Amino acid sequence: MAQRMMGWMRGVIRRARADGGMTTSEYAVGTIAACALAAVLYKVVTSAPVVAALQSVITGALDAKA
């Protein structure tokens, strides 16, 4: 009886660990999410206020006196 129960548990664990076919779809969803995040960040960084702030930081760093 105990061996039968252990065999059944091993089967359950084996089936729970199997994820055939899931890896590709997970990578696809991750890639789409990364592209969406990159698009949002690109829009934020190229917006006028952010560009002006970056230019002022760079100008201040280049004009700094040692």
- Supply the pLDDT for residue 20: 61
Place of tokens 């969406």: 36
At 17 the pLDDT is 67
Residue 14 near residue 20, CB atoms below 8 Å: no
Tally the domains of the chain: 1
Range of the domain at 42: 2-62
pLDDT at site 11? 79
pTM of the predicted protein model = 0.51
Distance CA(39)–CA(33), nearest Å, equals 10
